Amino acid sequence: MRDEDLMQLHLDVLYQQNEAGALTVMNEPPFEPAPTVHIGVTRDGKQMRFSSRVDEVFKKRLENTIQDADEDLLVDLIHQLMNRADLHEFRMGPTYVFPTIEEISPKVLHVTDQHKERLKDDFLFTYMNFDMKQPCYVVMELNRIASICCTARQSAVAAEASVYTHPKSRGKGYGAAVAQAWARDVQRQGRVALYSTTWDNFASQGIARTLNMRQYGVDVSIE
């Protein structure tokens, strides 16, 4: 699949959109407002999505800046946004697609309705929204969840992974193991398994390297 197509899937997974294609809310409970602008950059080009709150003048000005930007994209964006007092958060990082997964670690447990009570103590949000968070895989240590990978957000054709490993259990390969199991499940459903993180999350990038994920682009999200 082309990088541009993967970025399109990624954006469709992350947000709900109105009929005009404007971003409305995050595609997960509690459905918070979408960021002001989200840019997906791939070798094929740039894809831009704007919040439904953005006025057309600002949208057009930013579109022109992004289309013309190259290595100085970040600097150009900052200059354009300096006068927007309502903007307060900037997020940037790599986006990945999982390779085809065949085997998974025997340490991994598939969390189904039968086992979901295990989530209650440490992952209440996942427990309360369990139907939307499947598939869900964990590694257990001393009868507690040491690492978990479930669905962050999803669509009919793709899903994005969410991975967390307890600080005391890190460095043991658990994050990669649960992510691998999650991806195989998603792929066997006939969907594309996606992964994204931020540039400062080195542990998350380490999981991507361990599993030989392919980076297809970079995310820029401004709220």
Split at pLDDT 50, 70, 90, the class of 77 is low
Task: Say if residue 182's pLDDT is above 60.
Answer: yes
d(CA 97, CA 127): 26
Task: Say if residue 17's pLDDT is above 90.
Answer: yes
DSSP string, 88-134: --EEEEEEEEPPPP----TTEEE--TTTGGGGTTT-HHHHHTHHHH-
Split at pLDDT 50, 70, 90, the class of 72 is low
pLDDT of residue 4: 96
Over range 35-47, report the average pLDDT: 89
Task: Say if residue 87's pLDDT is above 80.
Answer: no
d(CA 162, CA 38): 19
Q: Which segments of the chain does DSSP mark as H helices, in order?
A: 3-14, 56-68, 73-81, 124-128, 130-133, 174-188, 202-210
Token output for 210: 């361990």
Task: Say if residue 67's pLDDT is above 80.
Answer: no
pTM recorded for the entire structure: 0.91
Mean of all residue pLDDT scores within the chain = 91
Over range 119-126, report the average pLDDT: 94
Q: Which residues contact 124 (CB under 8 A, 6 or more apart)?
A: none
Torsion angle, CA of 119/123/125/126, rounded to 10 degrees? Answer: -50
Q: Which CATH superfamily is domain 108-214 in?
A: Gcn5-related N-acetyltransferase (GNAT) (3.40.630.30)
pLDDT of residue 136: 98
Task: Say if residue 46's pLDDT is above 60.
Answer: yes
- The string of pLDDT tens digits covering residues 152-179 is 999 999 999 999 999 999 999 999 999 9
φ, ψ (nearest 5 deg) of residue 94? -80, 150
**Which of 60-64, 84-88, 116-120, 178-182 comes out lowest in average pLDDT?**
84-88
pLDDT of residue 81: 65
Task: Say if residue 114's pLDDT is above 70.
Answer: yes
pLDDT of residue 90: 80
Q: Starting at the edge strand that comes first in sequence, how are the strands of the sheet with 214-222 ordered?
A: 45-50, 37-42, 214-222, 90-97, 192-196, 158-165, 144-154, 136-141, 108-110
pLDDT of residue 73: 63
- Cα 42 to chain centroid, rounded: 16
Q: Which residues contact 112 (CB under 8 A, 6 or more apart)?
A: none
DSSP 8-state class, residue 33: B
Task: Say if residue 70's pLDDT is above 70.
Answer: no
> Comparing C-alpha atoms, which of 206, 177, 222 is closest to residue 77?
222
d(CA 147, CA 45): 36
DSSP 8-state class, residue 87: -
User: What are the boundaries of each domain within the chain?
Assistant: 3-96, 108-214
Over range 129-141, report the average pLDDT: 96
d(CA 32, CA 222): 14
Over range 132-145, report the average pLDDT: 95
